[in-house]
Structure 1
Amino acid sequence: MDTNLVETNIESEDLLEHVELQDISDAIITIQESFQISFQGDELANVKIFQDLCNLIQEKIKLEDHDDCTSQQAYYKLNQALSHTFNLSKLDLSPETLIENIIPRKNRIRKVKMLEDILDMQLFLLSPPVWLTCVLILVFFLSLLAFFFDGTIAVSGIAFSLLGLRIAHKMGKEIDIKTVGELTDNMVSYNYIKSRRDPNTVNRRELDHVIKSIFIKLFLLSPSALHKEAKFSEY
């Protein structure tokens, strides 16, 4: 047996333990928004493994169970919204259609906002150029080092980098998602309830898979890192 392969598999299955606690908190916020639930008090205190979280979410959702496909419903909603926003025929769209070919760069921010308003959900579709984000992050860390030399320069640099990042993300025009199919998948992950035809229902057979997809998207984990017994960080 290949020893290196065994070590790689072990490392990938332990990746969930390596996710920072603050990042887990961000995932919880995403889950609450997607499933329109809220965790109260110490409800999460006994969540030690991934299946504990899935079970808790299943318990928190009190909606009627319907055995239908949310991805199909999300695709239909997205298809309609894209057709309306960009004056397209529904026949011109397929899961393989490139988002870049649908949304022209000119007026892209305004058009995406129109699309989000029709769908009543945030799509996380646009971002600033990678080089700009990297430069602003570099300025931030250099500003931290500047505290050893000049506090005023350090504070100014931190304020500039944080403000720059905020503006860059609001004004970013780069499309992160390649195809209509990928955008549909994101809708289901980040806006599960709103993606359904009837928002008063869920398909409980889908829920664990959707929760897993949220963690995979947020933390770039491999599916093997999210087996039922995968442990959360204790730190």
Structure 2
Amino acid sequence: MELKIDSEDLEQMLLKIEDSFDIRFETNELAHVRTYGEFCDAIKGKISLDHSEDCTTQQAFYKLREAITKSTETEKKEITPTTELAEIFPKKTRKNQIKTLEMNLGFKLSILRPPHFVTGFLAILLLASFIVLFIDWPYGLIGLGLSIGGFRISNKLGNELDVNTVRDLSEKMTREYYVKSRRNSKTMNKNEFDEILEDWFVNFLGVRKSELTREARLF
């Protein structure tokens, strides 16, 4: 089975995985990798953290809960894994509170986005502008400029939450900031590794979990 993954998307995901586990690959170090199993083995072989049985998502939750109490007026006892983030971060103060939360955690969460109808409209405008380029290129260029500028502005001003609950955010932290989410940054729970790599392929590349066999070819 071939996963049919775009090589640029895979490279971008690899950079994020490197940041998450605090590792770095040399240029062409993964040139031999062709299958999902080989990719997982290469990542695992690069990590030199000591094994510890504790749960990283649980530790991420405690760190997140502590940071939320410092960033808002919410008390610890009010924060559970199922607590809705929209209840903690009301729209009027959301951007500033999320910014403060990120400062307290020490990393970007990237959980705010523009409304879907805005991105949908801009995507249609971008596609239409490409078509118009071949008919009336000045108007096509104007449309491209407006759509690209619109994406930048809407992403900067976006105020919609991209995750729903504290648990969702804890899992996102575990995936994207694994080392920083742990109490001891020199350790990892190696039993969690396979699931975390699966989450990357599912959430970042849109691959179905059932397709992720060791023999699945990446290209």
Matches within 5 A, 1:53-202: 53-202=39-188
What do residues 77-108 of structure 1 show as CA deviations (whole Å, max 9, x unaligned)? Answer: 00101111112111101111111111000121
1:45 equivalent to 2:31? Answer yes
The amino acid that maps onto 1:22 is: E
1:6 is aligned to: none
RMSD: 1.4
How far does residue 23 in structure 1 lie from its aligned partner after superposition?
Answer: 1.9
Matches within 5 A, 1:206-225: 206-225=192-211
Q: Secondary structure at the match of 1:96?
A: coil
Aligned partners of 1:192, 1:229: CA distance in 2, in Å? Answer: 26
Q: Secondary structure at the match of 1:227?
A: coil
Which stretch shows the higher mean deviation, 206-215 or 20-29?
Answer: 20-29
Aligned partners of 1:194, 1:45: CA distance in 2, in Å? Answer: 29
How far does residue 213 in structure 1 lie from its aligned partner after superposition?
Answer: 0.8
TM-score by length of 2: 0.94
Aligned partners of 1:122, 1:109: CA distance in 2, in Å? Answer: 13
Aligned partners of 1:209, 1:103: CA distance in 2, in Å? Answer: 29
What do residues 125-177 of structure 1 show as CA deviations (whole Å, max 9, x unaligned)? Answer: 11100010011111111111121122222222212211211111111011121
The amino acid that maps onto 2:195 is: H
The size of the alignment, in residue pairs, is: 219
The amino acid that maps onto 1:134 is: G
The amino acid that maps onto 1:63 is: L
Aligned partners of 1:185, 1:221: CA distance in 2, in Å? Answer: 18
1:4 is aligned to: none
The amino acid that maps onto 2:61 is: Y
Aligned partners of 1:73, 1:31: CA distance in 2, in Å? Answer: 19
Q: Secondary structure at the match of 2:26?
A: coil
Aligned partners of 2:125, 2:55: CA distance in 1, in Å? Answer: 46
Any unmatched runs of 5+ in structure 2? none
Aligned partners of 1:150, 1:191: CA distance in 2, in Å? Answer: 47
The amino acid that maps onto 2:77 is: L
The amino acid that maps onto 2:151 is: L
1:20 is aligned to: 6
Which stretch shows the higher mean deviation, 99-108 or 59-68?
Answer: 59-68
Matches within 5 A, 1:31-42: 31-42=17-28
